[in-house]
Amino acid sequence: MSEPAVPSGSAGFSHVNQEMAVTSPDSARQTVAIRVRLDIAYDGTDFTGWARQPGLRTVQGVLEETLSKVLREPIQLTVAGRTDSGVHAEGQVAHFDTAAQFDGPKLVHRLARFLPKDVRVTGIRVAPPEFDARFSAIRRHYAYRLTTAPYGADPLRARSVVPCRAVDLDAMREASRRLLGLHDFAAFCRRREGATTVRELQRFDWVASADHVVDDESGGPDGHSAPDRGQLLTAYVSADAFCWSMVRSLVGAVLAVGEGRRTPDWVAGLLAERERSSSVTVAPAHGLSLIAVDYPADADLADRNAQTRETRTLLPTDPGCCGT
């Protein structure tokens, strides 16, 4: 899995007061606004998705409220991928503009004191003014995790792993390969008025590993053989962007092949459909996590922004990728 490119720049600003991240509201207003990149991780279980919604607990709402209090100015975030209710993130990226002066590493530590345990800002850095978390992105990477353990998901990771039956992994890999490339994924996307469903699926493969939370070198109790723990199956899915519910629909369709209910040819045939297929099951949200977002080099940010905006002007698109 490739790592997201990191815009160059200073790690932070001069730190004046170690307790408060900002020097003062008056001095902040006199400072030229700069663009700030946030790297974010969250457990989506108890959030109603990323996007701010009145009266609901959302990742954007919690982060903006906390940042606004700490920086003592209104903060509005732009995000790389708008995840749905229950979807997690290990490598979400957002940006905002501020006139506040702060020290990046110390602000990360300070936010950890005020944010709830299910969301963390893992990095803060100054970004070039051309950096846009949404429009600068060239690739988004997701992981979907399943377990074939006969007893279901281990309690320590039941919030992020979905149990399934034993599957034919080779058939699933074949079905996944048939979907790679530039296609109209309408059969896999929930319809949004005026939204294009043409996407370039760049990676869709499966990795199997032993489903162990801890290594068990001593066998089972009293020296007997260890219980059948099944396999942890991780789907890695990458594209330039995703339409609403696309990743979970891709996983749901391919899982049907693995369980013997469908064939790889059936999956490939879905690409010919021009509206959402009722035969495609959307996999549960909690198995999905946004793990990384790729960006071009700083010198190419402006061109990437223009290219993305032009594409989304010529082809109607959904507002902000992804509803995955």
In contact, 110 and 43? CB cutoff 8 Å: no
The C-alpha atoms of residue 107 and residue 112 are separated, in whole angstroms, by 8
Within 13 Å, how many C-alpha atoms sit on residue 246's CB side? Answer: 34
* Encoded tokens for 90: 């290990």
Pairing of strands 88-98, 34-42: antiparallel
The pTM (predicted TM-score) of the whole model is 0.84
Run of H or E including 144: strand 139-147
CA 287 to chain centre: 12
Q: Which residue has the tokens 């990743």?
A: 247
Provide the H-helix boundaries in the chain.
25-29, 59-71, 104-114, 169-177, 246-258, 264-269, 301-314
**DSSP class of residue 77?**
-
> Any known ligand binding at 142?
yes
The C-alpha atoms of residue 181 and residue 59 are separated, in whole angstroms, by 32
Please give the positions annotated as active site: 84
Q: What domains can you pick out in the chain, each with its CATH number?
A: 25-127 (3.30.70.580), 139-219+226-300 (3.30.70.660)
In contact, 59 and 119? CB cutoff 8 Å: yes
Q: What secondary structure, in 3-state letters, does 155-194 show?
A: HHHCCCCEECCCCCHHHHHHHHHCCCEEEECHHHCCCCCC
Angle, to 10 degrees, between the axis of helix 169-177 and the axis of helix 246-258? Answer: 140
User: What residue type is assigned to position 243 of the chain?
Assistant: C
pLDDT tens for the 324 residues of the chain, in order = 444 443 433 334 333 333 334 444 454 444 679 999 999 999 999 999 999 999 999 999 999 999 999 999 999 999 999 999 999 999 999 999 999 888 999 999 999 999 999 999 999 999 999 999 999 999 999 999 999 999 999 999 999 999 999 999 999 999 999 999 999 999 999 877 777 889 999 999 999 998 765 555 555 555 555 567 889 999 999 999 999 899 999 999 999 999 999 999 999 999 999 999 999 999 999 999 999 999 999 887 888 888 877 764 444 444 445 556
